[in-house]
């Protein structure tokens, strides 16, 4: 896990910049270039970006928030096309500057002309970004777009970085002036933004169509992510800032994780890889399971990824509205929780919440559970108490003999985390005669005894055995 002290977040932005354009003109490549890292998936297949992605850009004189949007007017499902257009319209409405991206190598198209007509009516400043000028020989291609009538135009190559500094200068001139900008906000080139406490990163993971995006929309009370009955709607990991009761969160909506043999395209493979990376960078994972399907083998695999990454975790059994019985709902809930724990026995420390993202039922309880996990992360078992507890466990159920030797415990202590503010697995150091004598089964037994003293909801408990001669 990356410690909180190592995470860097850009200073407060002075404005919002939306990237719009038809599919496959290089919007995501430009987004990644301005963000300084690969966030959006870049692929030749049109329509890859469907949700609205946001990231800070600190490459220019003043920091701003950059928004990538789905391609407008592309081929694909009618429902998604409408939602993508709506998402792009919202970005244009709420932004301070619009980057209208066109493809120089494709030339001016009817969709470009229609978009230009719409954007000329906008009161927001528009920069015509003529992309894919990858070589000096391509510079003549930009002339075809001059008849669109935009005062600000910049030729670039998002893939190769050509013209980006000129684009940043143009954006800076169009961003609103802010009285809150001080000498610390205005950076010299190459100056790094200050480190501040990071928001709690919550990764929403699960199979396709389990209701991950619906859950985020229910939390936000806003159609911030695109929700569709079509599986695979979310392809990028979408980071959404959210503040609640004075606490900042980063909600990460991820692509649904399917078995690799069922991936329909290389794009989906990339989406799944990104979802797996999101699990690793999250502070806490929220596994969403579709109650209408029950716990499937793929749910177990995703839970296994969370366990392997040693991440704090919660489980949400979604779509309660579709299975809720007219009577004895409480008994039905208890049965569902019991069955889920039997299937996810290796993730038995994860609290379970039964909810409906569609109706909002029980969704508010999610943050109570998160608060419980955060509180538990700061609970320590005193060294004396821990040693008495583990010695009693050894006496009541001695470890098995392996070969001719048996595990002996000399001393135990709870390790301090890398950062007291971080939400991470709890580590206990056991000084023993020979570390390899601790079997997996006996380790689970000792973990159970520790949890009997302190449940540590949502938090993995890790036992680190060291030979007696080693220092802590």
Confidence class for position 305, pLDDT limits 50, 70, 90? confident
User: What would the mean pLDDT of 433-449 be, rounded to a whole number?
Assistant: 94
419 vs 450, higher pLDDT: 450
User: What would the mean pLDDT of 345-372 be, rounded to a whole number?
Assistant: 94
Residue 342 scores a pLDDT above 80: yes
**How far is the C-alpha of 215 from the C-alpha of 204, rounded, in Å?**
9
Residue 220 scores a pLDDT above 90: no
**Architecture category of domain 200-376 in CATH:** 3-Layer(aba) Sandwich (3.40)
Residue 117 scores a pLDDT above 90: no
The mean-pLDDT minimum among 71-80, 92-101, 409-418 falls in 71-80
Which of the listed ranges 69-73, 294-298, 449-453 does the model predict with the highest average pLDDT? 449-453
234 vs 432, higher pLDDT: 432
Looking at residue 263, what is its pLDDT? 46
Residue 420 scores a pLDDT above 60: no
* SS3 letters across the chain: CCCHHHCCCCCCCCCEEEEECCCCCCHHHHHHHHHCCCCCCCCCCCCCCCCCEEEEECCCCCCEEEEECCCCCCCCCHHHHHHHHHHHHHHHHHCCEEEEEEECCCCCCHHHHHHHHHHHCCCCCEEEEEECCCCHHHHHHHHHHHHHCCCEEEECECCCCECHHHHHHHHHHHCCCCCCCCCCCCCCCCCCCCCCCCCEEEEEEECCCCCHHHHHHHHHCCCCCCCCCCCCCCCCCEEEEEEECCEEEEEEECCCCCCHHHCCCHHHHHHHHHHHHHHHHCCEEEEEEECCCCCCHHHHHHHHHHHHCCCCEEEEEECHHHHCCCCCHHHHHHHHHHHHHHHCHHHCCCCEEECCCCCCCCCCHHHHHHHHHHHHCCCCCCHHHHHHHHHHHHHHCCCCEECCEECCEEEEEECCCCCCCCCCCEEEEEEECCHHHCCHHHHHHHHHHHHHHCCCCCCCEEEEEEECCCCC
Mean pLDDT over all residues of the chain? Answer: 79
Looking at residue 332, what is its pLDDT? 94
Confidence class for position 437, pLDDT limits 50, 70, 90? very high
Indicate the class that CATH gives domain 383-467. Answer: alpha beta
For 366, phi and psi rounded to 5 degrees?
A: -55, -45
The mean-pLDDT minimum among 65-74, 137-146, 428-437 falls in 65-74
User: What would the mean pLDDT of 340-352 be, rounded to a whole number?
Assistant: 94
Which residues belong to CATH 3.30.300.20 in the chain? 383-467
Q: What is the DSSP pairing of strand 152-155 with strand 126-131?
A: parallel
User: What would the mean pLDDT of 208-225 be, rounded to a whole number?
Assistant: 80
244 vs 11, higher pLDDT: 244
Which residues belong to CATH 3.40.50.300 in the chain? 4-174, 200-376
Residue bearing tokens 């998936």:
41
Looking at residue 39, what is its pLDDT? 54
**How far is the C-alpha of 285 from the C-alpha of 254, rounded, in Å?**
11
Residue 91 scores a pLDDT above 80: no
**How far is the C-alpha of 84 from the C-alpha of 78, rounded, in Å?**
10
Q: Which CATH number fits domain 4-174: 2.60.40.10, 3.30.43.10, 3.40.50.300, 3.30.70.1060?
A: 3.40.50.300
Among residues of the chain, what percentage have pLDDT more than 70? 74
Contacts of 44 (CB under 8 A, 6+ apart): 24
472 vs 457, higher pLDDT: 457
Looking at residue 146, what is its pLDDT? 84
Tell me which residue of 279, 465, 429, 454 sits closest to 378, measured CA to CA. 454
Residue 104 scores a pLDDT above 50: yes
């Amino acid at each position: 896990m990356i410690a909180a002290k190592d995470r860097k977040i850009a200073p407060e932005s002075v404005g919002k910049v939306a990237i719009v354009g038809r599919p496959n003109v290089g919007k995501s490549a430009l987004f990644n270039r301005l963000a300084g890292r690969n966030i959006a998936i870049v692929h030749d297949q049109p329509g890859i970006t469907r949700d609205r992605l946001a990231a800070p850009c600190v490459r220019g004189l003043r920091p701003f928030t950059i928004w990538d949007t789905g391609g407008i007017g592309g081929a694909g499902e009618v429902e998604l096309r409408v939602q993508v257009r709506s998402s792009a319209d919202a970005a244009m409405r709420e932004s301070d500057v619009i980057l209208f991206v066109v493809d120089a190598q494709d030339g001016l198209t009817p969709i470009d002309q229609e978009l230009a007509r719409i954007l000329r009516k906008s009161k927001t400043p528009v920069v015509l970004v003529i992309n894919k000028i990858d070589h000096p020989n391509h510079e003549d291609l930009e002339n075809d777009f001059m008849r669109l009538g935009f005062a600000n135009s910049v030729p670039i190559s998002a893939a190769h970085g050509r013209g980006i500094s000129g684009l940043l200068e143009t954006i800076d001139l169009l961003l609103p002036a802010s009285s809150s900008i001080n000498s610390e906000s205005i950076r010299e080139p190459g100056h790094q933004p200050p480190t501040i406490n990071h928001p709690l990163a919550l990764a929403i993971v699960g199979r396709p169509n389990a209701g991950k995006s619906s859950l985020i929309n229910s939390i936000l009370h806003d159609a911030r992510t695109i929700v569709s009955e079509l599986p695979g709607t979310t392809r990028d990991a979408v980071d959404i800032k959210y503040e609640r009761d004075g606490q900042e969160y980063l909600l990460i909506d991820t692509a649904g994780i399917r078995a690799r043999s069922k991936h329909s395209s290389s794009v989906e493979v990339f989406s799944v890889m990104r979802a797996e990376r999101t699990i690793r960078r999250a502070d806490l994972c929220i596994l969403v399971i579709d109650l209408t399907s029950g716990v499937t083998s793929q749910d177990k695999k995703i839970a296994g990824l969370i366990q392997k990454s040693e991440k704090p975790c919660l489980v949400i059994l979604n779509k309660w509205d579709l299975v809720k019985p007219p009577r004895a709902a409480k008994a039905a809930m208890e049965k569902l929780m019991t069955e889920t724990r039997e299937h996810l026995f290796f993730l038995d420390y994860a609290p379970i919440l039964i909810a409906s993202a569609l109706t909002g039922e029980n969704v508010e309880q999610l943050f109570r559970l998160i608060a419980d996990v955060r509180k538990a992360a700061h609970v320590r078992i005193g060294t004396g108490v821990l040693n008495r507890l583990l010695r009693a466990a050894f006496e009541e159920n001695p470890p098995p003999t392996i070969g001719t030797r048996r595990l002996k415990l000399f001393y135990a202590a709870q390790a301090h985390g890398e950062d007291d503010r971080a939400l991470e697995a709890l580590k206990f150091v056991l000084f023993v005669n020979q570390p390899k004598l601790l079997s997996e089964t006996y380790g689970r037994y000792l973990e159970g005894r520790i949890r009997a003293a302190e449940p540590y909801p949502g938090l993995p408990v890790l036992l680190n055995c060291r030979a007696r001669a080693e220092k802590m």
